[in-house]
Structure 1
Amino acid sequence: MSMTYYTLGNSGLRVSRLALGTMTFGTEWGWGADRETARAMFDAFVGAGGNFFDTADLYTGGTAETWLGEFIAERGLRDKAVIATKFTFNSEPGNPNGGGNGRKNIMRAVDASLKRLGTDYIDLYLMHVWDRLTPAEEVLRTLDDLVRAGKVRHVGLSDVPAWYAGRAQAIAELRGYEPVSALQLEYSLAERTIEHEFVPLATRHGAGIMVWSPLASGLLSGKYRPTQAGNAGRLDGFRNTTHPGFQKFSDRNWAIVAELEKVAAEVGRSMAQVALNWVTTQPGVATVILGATKLAQLQDNLGALDFSIAPELRKRLDSVSSAPAPFPHSYFGPEIQVRVAGGTVTGDKPSGYSLPVLVEGEAVSISSN
């Protein structure tokens, strides 16, 4: 395959369209890859042109960061590698400040991650999840301090409400802090909720979307069927859990799986490749995180950008995975807009739209998009 690169949001940081997720580096959670397999996946990803690596301080108890740092160092790739890691989760039971998004924990967490990664800077540092407590002002000021100190290059947010992300970006713009360059969010054919708020926010305010769980925790990989009992995959082990990331078995999702299987057969590609191709080419998406436990899985995933999905097939995937727009988005349709515009036809400005203005008597054009 020929890897391509996008700049992350409005930053100048170039990242590969596919990123290597390391949540599976280590077997501490009862599933995942051993060191030899993790290194093989790392090498395959680098060999395919990938430069973007996603990890977190709590992944497999710190093993993921440690192994990633060692693999990068062994091959002398630090200047080429783009490392993203995250903070929030608490690894010290009984210590209320051992997690969360307050300044005290962020300052502790960044130094611990730097040590495990064996580096003196992090390319992208993300808040892992909203703690429902810490003001965005405190988070953004602390992250900006880390950028000014040289410990961090760019900052981002993962798993936050859209209003919080919007406020954070506005604070950064108003106060001259390092802006939010990335939003890491769940997105797939089975989980399209971000299209209503986050995609418009990201595209209009300069944050590239980093997709996690593009295969819906494996549901879209082809290994699960509604009539199968006792699937060997990770989702089956979480059938009775309340963890939101693993609640994937539903009639709607089985319909998506069935249609995806048909489309994949027509395209001549694996179900995983088609699902990844669909999400990677959606608006606002800068990169898609691949998470595999076997080298063969990763190798298959790396072929997701080598083809295009025909418009009519894409329409079928869009249709089967669509869901009713929630309020207030259900209120923004054509009937309301016609009333807003007094019956006239309005729409978005076409690409390249500009208005003539006069500068010292000469007509010039300025972009008004």
Structure 2
Amino acid sequence: MKYKLLGRSGLKVSELCLGTMGFGTENGWGADKDTSFGILDTFTNAGGNFIDTANIYKLGTSEKILGEYISNRDRDYFVLATKYSLHDNKTNPNASGNNRKNMLRSVEESLKRLKTDFIDVLYLHIWDDITPIDEVLRAMDDLIRQGKVNYAAISDTPAWVVAKGNTLAELMGWSQFITLQVEYSLLQRTPERELIPMAKHYGMTVTPWAPLAGGALTGKYLRGEHGRIKPESNRLNDNSVRITKAVVEIADELGISPGNVALQWTRQQNFSCIPIVGATKVSQLEDNLQVIDVELTAAHLQKLDEASAISLGFPGDFFREDAVKLNSFGGFYDRVEKR
């Protein structure tokens, strides 16, 4: 496993991030403690140190399993990322949301479950459209100054909110968001409209969740293995089937799994990207780990891009059309690009 810098920080993390949303057997699915420990052993033995969880995953069981595992090992080796915002507590109106009170409460509870004195990366889990972004960043900065958190991060939030937050943090001397977690895959490319360009501008690393689209890009739905997926899911429509078939064709050509093709596509984009690979079985992770030795050709990338192309909407498509017009006038656009 190679290591990469996370965003504009000096924090070194493995080129794959282990997702632990499935650690625990609540809700009738997931990995029990022994299986979770086996997955963690496999990841760390491969050189992985970047692990993603959240306070809400399996109602806290994911964090508890991680805490038990890491407490008997070198804590400083691991880069633990967790999240706050969501919590199932109907008796406390401030037990959810992005507000400072919930953040501080959630962090204290996560520290206990994780059996650690500090969290390496703290994500805002999902934007609540209520809390001012300056309240979020000031509270995160206070936690960082206290040594309870090392770095600030954000997930599932509009690009304009993140941009406002990082600009404000730069102005005020607060810690900025260093990484952005969003759903991103060959079946979900809409972050290319605003979120990914914004992340590139601020030097943020993108950590895609569901880079395999819940397993759709492994080809399992083509084989009729629908599992828990709903029939109306967009991972089962004609568009997703067409894209998945292109993935499978390339996988067959290279002699690798379709999942490796889909994961590598995210890793070969023109921005800093560390996909989150979830697993509830050791065999699933073992297959995902093979991606570090995969390299897609320009032809492969073009085939996948064409199969999964989306409209950028306005102004993205307008800029694209404008570039074509400028090129038609003596290559002016090319000269501007080179400068």
Calculate the TM-score normalised by the size of structure 2: 0.95
RMSD over aligned CA atoms reads 1.9
Report the secondary structure of 2:153's partner residue.
Answer: strand
CA contact (8 A) 1:338 1:345 kept: no
Q: Does the alignment pair 1:309 with 2:306?
A: no
In structure 1, give the amino acid aligned to 2:227: G
CA contact (8 A) 2:7 2:272 kept: no
1:293-328 Cα distance to aligned partner (Å, 9 max, x none): 111111000001212112112211111011122122
Question: Relative to structure 1, is the Cα distance of residues 83 and 224 closer, same or farther in structure 2, using a 3 angstrom cutoff?
Answer: same
Q: Which moved more, 1:21-30 or 1:326-335?
A: 326-335
**Match of residue 271 from structure 1:** 258
Q: Does the alignment pair 1:214 with 2:211?
A: yes
Q: Does the alignment pair 1:114 with 2:108?
A: no
CA contact (8 A) 2:178 2:203 kept: yes
Report the secondary structure of 1:333's partner residue.
Answer: helix
Q: Does the alignment pair 1:101 with 2:95?
A: no
Report the secondary structure of 1:300's partner residue.
Answer: helix
2: CA distance, partners of 1:83 / 1:34: 20
Q: Which moved more, 1:38-47 or 1:201-210?
A: 201-210
CA shift, 1:57, in A, is 0.2
Q: Which moved more, 1:199-208 or 1:263-272?
A: 199-208
Q: Which moved more, 1:59-68 or 1:323-332?
A: 323-332
Pick the structure with greater CA Rg: 1
Which has more helix, going by share of residues?
A: 2
Unaligned runs of 5+ in 1: 241-245, 354-369
Question: Relative to structure 1, is the Cα distance of residues 232 and 141 closer, same or farther in structure 2, using a 3 angstrom cutoff?
Answer: same
2: CA distance, partners of 1:142 / 1:341: 51
Q: Which moved more, 1:285-294 or 1:170-179?
A: 285-294
CA contact (8 A) 1:41 1:298 kept: yes
**Match of residue 228 from structure 2:** 234
**Match of residue 25 from structure 1:** 23
CA shift, 1:349, in A, is 4.9
1: CA distance, partners of 2:186 / 2:17: 19
**Match of residue 328 from structure 1:** 315
In structure 1, give the amino acid aligned to 2:126: V
| Pairing 1:153-192 to 2, within 5 Å after superposition | 153-192=150-189
**Match of residue 288 from structure 1:** 275
CA shift, 1:94, in A, is 2.8
| Pairing 1:42-57 to 2, within 5 Å after superposition | 42-57=40-55
CA contact (8 A) 1:217 1:234 kept: no
CA contact (8 A) 1:9 1:286 kept: no
CA shift, 1:286, in A, is 3.1
**Match of residue 299 from structure 1:** 286
**Match of residue 66 from structure 1:** 64
CA shift, 1:77, in A, is 2.3
| Pairing 1:239-278 to 2, within 5 Å after superposition | 239=231, 247-278=234-265
2: CA distance, partners of 1:109 / 1:279: 31
**Match of residue 198 from structure 1:** 195
Q: Which moved more, 1:326-335 or 1:125-134?
A: 326-335
Unaligned runs of 5+ in 2: none
2: CA distance, partners of 1:247 / 1:143: 36
CA shift, 1:346, in A, is 2.8
Calculate the TM-score normalised by the size of structure 1: 0.87
CA shift, 1:291, in A, is 0.7
In structure 1, give the amino acid aligned to 2:299: E
1:123-151 Cα distance to aligned partner (Å, 9 max, x none): 00000000011110110111011001110
CA shift, 1:116, in A, is 0.4
In structure 1, give the amino acid aligned to 2:41: D
State, as a whole percentage, how many aligned pairs show the same letter: 43
1: CA distance, partners of 2:330 / 2:100: 52
2: CA distance, partners of 1:247 / 1:257: 12
